[in-house]
A and B are shown apart, each in its own frame.
Chain A
Amino acid sequence: MSSIEVKDLNFSFKDQTIFKDLSLNTESGTITGIIGPNGVGKSVLFKIIAGLIIPQTGLVKVNGQEINQNGFPDDFGALIEEPGFVDRLSGYDNLKILSSIKNLINKDDIKSTLKLVGLWGKHNQKVKNYSLGMKKKLGIAQAIMEKPKVIILDEPMNALDEDSVQNIRTVLKKLATENNVSILIASHNMDDINLLCDKIYKINNYKVNEIQKSNNE
């Protein structure tokens, strides 16, 4: 069964067509990449998958659940554009607040997630004092902390240093292979896409086309 299924998606905004009959699939235990130039609609597609934006027509399913105006995806984690953390609170407290919404995890889970992304030790610093890279790691942490079955990450490696990039790549690979998680990544970095992804889609002319890994377009 597909983890994410998008079929015949049509979406336009202020008379501008963004997607026309767009379809894609992702499978459990795999990482799927999305590439395309700026402004082509990668973030919009992620917002549609997350249920934040309602498309004009088309079918979106996450873990078999149809995403429409009646429901957000269950068992799902997302990092889309800039995450809105509370700047005056620490990274740890931000995750604690977010985790209190679904109440699925405890303090130890938050601690182990922060260790995983390399933020443990700086978890008590206020987010306003975090660098861009640290905020990105916190964004990844909130997306994976509840151990969802489907994760979508919009430019997850942006602003990360080389060591952190390597670490996050390892974390994501492990999640997919060991925990059978389906991960969808949008990135401009072809190294990330080629090293991480089992399948790559390119957005072009309002649709996505599957491309070969060796294609470095």
Chain B
Amino acid sequence: MTATGVAGRPSGRAGAVMNTSQEVIRRARSGDEEAFRLIFERYSRPIISFIYDMVGRRELAEDLTQETFVRAHRNLGGLRDETKLSTWLFGIAKNVTRESLRSRVREDLKVAIDDDRVRGLSDGGLPPDRELLNRELNGVIRDALQNLDDDKRAVFTLKIFQQRSYEEIAEITGSSIPKLKTDLHRARAEMRRRIEPYLRVNHEV
């Protein structure tokens, strides 16, 4: 990162003062809004990605991300282990998302895989352009995620996209380790079935 990239913020507080996550949390707890903004800036990206993977809709993901950080701010005093801020935030995001999903008609979220598209790829026709393929694959992954049940989707997203350990996933979701192992294995198998034609074409192209 260049000096331009890291400088430029007006706050006189140098890195020496707010040089650890714990320090940032302590400051945020005491009402320092700039410190809470730093927390937002650091964690909003993985949180919105997780929420988007859970709900599959951009605007809803943005709203739920807002709600996650508002709740985090409200309950920051309840964070006991400051080294687990990230896990704690994901836990809030998981709850916010679950509440939202419960309040909606599940069928709204179920998006059928475009069978023609998948069939076309596995029929051995002309190899599609890789770029077009990537774009389609994004859509297929997004749709396939939405067809997993909530528990499997949460476990799959946290492991595959957020690279969380089983222990962290158990803390975030409240599931036991054996259950999450089973959910993850089944989620992988379901996702594999959906993306398999694309894996094959990707390999061939």
Instruction: State whether these chains interact.
Output: no
Question: Interface of B with A (CB < 8 Å)?
Answer: none
